[in-house]
Amino acid sequence: MLDAFLITAASLIGLALTFAMARFLRGPRAVDRVVAFDALTIVSLSAIVLAGLVTGRAIYLDVALVYALLSFLGVIVAARYLEGGEE
């Protein structure tokens, strides 16, 4: 029962990552790629916590927290940079 839940959830996360990755590759602008990157990191946050649940290791929670913090800072810095204009 629980396995079925976990496998479904993992598949849906995989689907979300695939979509976001497709947008990342397609662009067309730098901002679109950063938006896709932002979505990728948010989705992988869930993936990390899910991995922690499956392996039963609480350290993944700290990984997820630091990851969320860093990706947030990364997106802010990227946005600041893009504000100057592109092309």
- Residues lying near another protein in the complex (CB under 8 A) are found at 1-2, 4-6, 8-10, 12-13, 15-20, 22-23, 29, 31-32, 34-36, 38-39, 42-43, 45-46, 49-50, 53, 58, 61-62, 64-65, 68-69, 72, 75-76, 79-80, 82-86
- Of the candidates 10, 36, 3, which has an alpha carbon nearest to the alpha carbon of residue 21? 36
How far apart are CB 78 and another protein at their closest, in Å?
8
CA distances from 55 to 6, 31, 41, 47, 49 (A): 12, 36, 21, 12, 10
1, two tokens: 């029962």
How far apart are CB 63 and another protein at their closest, in Å?
11
